[in-house]
Structure 1
Amino acid sequence: MIRDEHARDRQFPVDGKRFSLFTIAGLIAGVILISGLIKTGDDSLLCSIAKSRSQPINGFSDMETQLRALVHYATSTIIPQQNYDEISVTYDVLRNRSPCNFLVFGLGYDSPMWDALNPRGKTLFLEEDQKWVDDVLKGAPNLHARAVKYRTQLKEASTLLNHYRTQLSCFPSNAYLRGNDQCKLALTGFPNEFYDTEWDLIMIDAPRGWFAEAPGRMAAIFSAAVMARNRKGAGVTHVFLHDVDRKVEKLYATEFLCKKYLVKSAGRLWHFEIPAAVKTTSHDDPHFC
């Protein structure tokens, strides 16, 4: 990213496997082909929300989005945030679940790719910096991105774990997000569509989490777990967490996303499939896993 702190937080190590721009273009080209082969009436590959849509599908608009992404990566010298193996994990799920509701914490150089890989679906990007949102949208105005504010700081990670274990509104049997000011890990004050949409896939690759005053990803991980457990539709919620080599990401993933739901890992990315919770959890049990 243009800003040094974003670049440091969202680039993989220099000695990691570099992701080829040609490979990205190939992935998107493959999706274009797959999208053309999927019949409009075939519900087997649709996410739960797609079945209730009533607006007509604009095939040209989908193709234009994908072609813009191809041009973007074919002419860019910037390496995306994730490497080939990491991107492939999410791509494999999108290939089977798109069109779906895809929530992405973070806005960066890979955003046009994620948008293009979910044709006819809803992809929302959440970013902590309004200026960065404005800068990215200048080059990719078709992206649906919103600036949001976090209430946490990375240096509070341990304290927040202790807080959730004693705050009833954080307990898995009671947890909710919108307006839950008592639970400091609940994401509050976000756009209505964040709360009103049932997300099929959630990618956590932000906010910043490499210095003490950064928001950290504690609240994003907790809130993803709450949304997944509160799911009303059929199927599981796919949660992808990047940078699991870092202490806080790994700690919070183990606490809230649960190792028993970890189905795949690649590089610094973990993929969880989280089912809706059976409403039998004890009200005095603070544990998610």
Structure 2
Amino acid sequence: MTDHSIDPDQDLRDLVASNPGQGTFEEYRHLRNVIRAKAPARVLIFGVGRDSQYWLDANEGGTTVFVEHEPTWIGMTRDLIPGVDVVQVSYDTVRTQWKALLERRDLLFMDDLPDRILAENWDVIFVDSPQGGSRRRPGRMKSIYTASVLARRSTDVEVLVHDCHRPVEATYAHRYLGAERMVEQVAGLRHYRLRPPVG
């Protein structure tokens, strides 16, 4: 059992150490703090992985839904976390299309999400999928755009986009979430806050 009186972030350090090449300690800590500040909350996460249980724990008592397109990762996550809420989706893009699709809102919205996701008033949305590191991968154009649409349908939402050191994530996040709404950037993690207009 971890003694958190010595280091309250030891569980987070263990996660980062066991999940190399993913989030940094500072990125994970920022996201965890955002979720905990809202918990129990309605949290939507694009992507599943070894960190999924950590986000469920951070949102204890709340509703956490994951969106994923890779059947292998879905199966692995369901085996590790019985009862986890994962919605399977598909992407019909490749990363190399990102410039051509930048203003194609008609092609960017994910139309295979169930109504229960489309109609929810989300508190936190985290975009960490699909993988965007390869030319052959879908890229995050659709997930970032769809997150922006869901955020605007919500009342007061924190939206975080990972890997914004890459041009696709950086460009789409600012374009559709608004550079003026960015609260903070921690390494490659951008944090935006969308609130309804006053008056």
Question: Taking structure 2 as the reference length, what is the TM-score of the superposition?
Answer: 0.87
Task: Report what 1:111 is aligned to.
Answer: 52
**Deviations 1:63-89 (Å, cap 9, x if unpaired)?**
xxxxxxxxxx68x97226212211121
Report if the CA contact (8 A) 2:127-2:144 is conserved.
yes
Q: Is the 8 A contact 2:12 2:25 kept in 1?
A: no
Does the residue aligned with 2:102 lie in a helix, a strand or coil?
Answer: helix
Say whether 1:79 aligns with 2:22: no
Partner of 2:11 in structure 1?
25
2:66 aligned with 1:146: no
* Partner residue in 1 for 2:3: none
- Number of paired residues? 191
Instruction: Give the Å deviation of 1:207.
Output: 0.5
When residues 77 and 251 of structure 1 are mapped into structure 2, their CA distance, relative to the original with a 3 A threshold, is: closer
Which of the pair has more CA radius of gyration?
1
What is the one-letter code of the residue matched to 2:9? T
For structure 1, the residue ranges without an aligned partner over 5 or more in a row are 1-20, 28-72, 165-169, 171-182, 279-289
**Aligned partner letter, 1:217:** R
Matches of 1:266 and 1:242 in 2, distance apart? 10
SS of alignment partner, residue 9 of structure 2: helix
Distance in 1 between residues matched to 2:197 and 2:108, nearest whole Å: 19
Higher strand proportion, which one? 2
Question: Helix, strand or coil for the counterpart of 1:184?
Answer: helix
Q: TM-score, normalised by structure 1?
A: 0.61
Q: How does 1:1-289 map to 2 (within 5 A)?
A: 23-25=9-11, 78-79=18-19, 81-162=22-103, 164=104, 170=105, 183-231=106-154, 233=155, 236-276=156-196
Amino acid at match of 2:11: A
Aligned pair in 2 of structure 1 residues 219, 146: CA closer, same or farther (>3 Å)? same
Q: Deviations over 1:152-184 (max 9, x none)?
A: 22111111124x2xxxxx3xxxxxxxxxxxx10
- Give the superposition deviation at 1:147: 1.7
Q: Deviations over 1:199-244 (max 9, x none)?
A: 110000110112222111111111111112222x3xx210011101
> After the TM superposition, which parts of structure 1 deviate over 6 Å for at least 4 consecutive aligned residues?
none
Instruction: Structure 2: give runs of 5+ residues left out of the alignment.
Output: 1-6
Change (3 A) 1:79 1:276: same
Q: 1:24 to 1:156 in 2, by over 3 A?
A: farther
What's the % identity of the aligned pairs? 29
